[in-house]
Amino acid sequence: MTDWPALDRQTHINTYARLPVVLERAAGTKLWDVDGKEYTDFLSGLGAVNLGHCRAEIVDAVCGQARRLDHVSNLFYSPVQIELASRLAEKTGGRCFFANSGAEANEGALKLARRWGKKTHGPNRIGVISTLGSFHGRTLATLTATGQPAKSEPFAPLPPGFSYVPFNDLEALDAALDDTVCAVLLEPIQGEGGVRPADPEYLVGARRLCDDRGALLIFDEVQTGVARTGRFFAAEHADIVPDVVTLAKSLANGFPIGAFIAKPKVADAFEPGDHGSTFGGGAPICAGALATLDIIESEGLAERSAKTGAYFRDGLAALGDKTGRLKDVRGLGLMIGATTERPEARALASALLGEGFIINNIGDDCLRFLPPLTITTDEIDALLAALEKELKNDAK
């Protein structure tokens, strides 16, 4: 038998702390490893597979489009790409640029903000404010925008023009938002920062401050978007519209796509040649994204996410009350975090993996759950029972 981990170590650059599982196939909420062991997926490929794995309609859409038209670059028009942009424009009133990942989407949004700032306010309007604990990507600019110094400091010197304020602190944002700032970049819920939702009042206040100071408000909805939180965009919970919003991860249910969508007055700052992508918005992936949107709408998955997420959070809170080992269950829809009383989140995630449940930890005291929006209450109950078992076993 092939020793896949050993071969991986020989052939890949060592950037991933991989788990000791070699996955071979998937269907719906289930995954199977090369030994045939079954796992229930409560992570969705880090929030990318919102509709479950290998969804037939999406696979058929991608493959069918690839048989008709595979790749022509963005030197030409593509009906399927224009149709996807139109569908997203209906939801935002904005114009789209398609990339291949969340980092690329955020990178493009930052470039657009600077181009807009210079054209609208002059050459010194280039500053970007983001929040401590945020995560926006692994490119040099998006890593600099990420408010986690441990991730960015190894790559110093970093691009200038970025500053950080505490999350959910409107006074700090007010003090930092001066006339050098072209944009404020926020996650409505910090994902890699520990599933920390922004207060609706904070987001409303950020919108007001940006309007007052002539800065753009950019929402990074790479993890929160596409019905994950119970609305198509998490911003809808606060009833506000950003100037630019970024999407990726689940937009094509795990196939590689990213997008930033800007209000027309902002989008006009870009001219031909200012930005581009060889593969962004390729026809097969756009077909997969259209199929994804169709399923979300036809099956009411945003509403289902809200309802199932509330059931899941209630179950975790009850388990915390029962065991005294979980606290601060938080999130919206099926984007959920829970703090552990002890620094044991990593050990619990590993134990649950052994029991056939895929979750993950953020640091040593946060469990994160990002199941497909099609997860059932029976599957949630099974996860809760396994987690209760591990908590009780460790308590003895």
Active site residues: 135, 220, 249
Q: What are phi and psi of 245, to 5 degrees?
A: -130, 140
Supply 171's token pair.
């006074």
- Nearest-angstrom CA–CA distance, 340 and 345: 6
Q: What angle do CA 363, 254, 34 make, to 5 degrees?
A: 75
Output the 3-class SS for 109-126: HHHHHHHHHHHHHCCCCC
127-131/181-186 β-pairing = parallel
Alpha-helical runs (H) found in 93-251: 102-121, 140-145, 149-152, 170-176, 200-213
Supply 231's token pair.
């609305």
- Nearest-angstrom CA–CA distance, 131 and 218: 12
The gap between the terminal CA atoms of the chain, to the nearest Å, is 39
